[in-house]
Amino acid sequence: MVQSEVEDQDRNKNETRDALVAMDLAVKMKDSGLGINVSDLDYVDDIDDIAADPAAAYAMLNEIAHFFQLLGMKINTVKTKVMDLNIHYQLILYGQEMERVDNFTYLGSVINPHGGSELRYRSE
């Protein structure tokens, strides 16, 4: 693994951690009555776990799952998908293998493993 990949992996891990800490803060602020209304925290949508290798993907997924468990939430293994690039591996959470897909939609764009994307939804 080259240095830039390590830096990218660390940056992705830090960004994921920052998003989860922000969500934790929102929950704490809601519970303290500071005026933030969080109406439904049964699930969180559209978290992308980008990793340099299968071990990193597994570690990040488990870290996120552990954090959600602390908040009383659980990752939906039926809705969780895996798209890998040139390295095929199993990703298992709660004893369930995650479904492998050829592309996924994120914020209205279809992302594919070749680095491309296309806009699926257009605002009018």
**Residue 121, pLDDT above cutoff 50:** yes
The pLDDT of residue 95: 92
The overall pTM is greater than 0.85: no
pLDDT tens by residue, 45-99? 566 667 778 888 888 888 878 877 877 778 888 888 888 877 778 888 999 998 9
**3-31 per-residue burial string, b: 16 or more CB within 10 A, e: under 16:** eeeeeebeebbeebeeebeebeeebeeee
**Residue 113, pLDDT above cutoff 50:** yes
83 touches 113 (CB < 8 A): yes
Compute the average pLDDT of residues 27-52.
54
Partners of 99 in beta bridges? 81
Return the amino acid letter for 46: D
Compute the average pLDDT of residues 14-36.
59
More confident residue, 105 or 43: 105
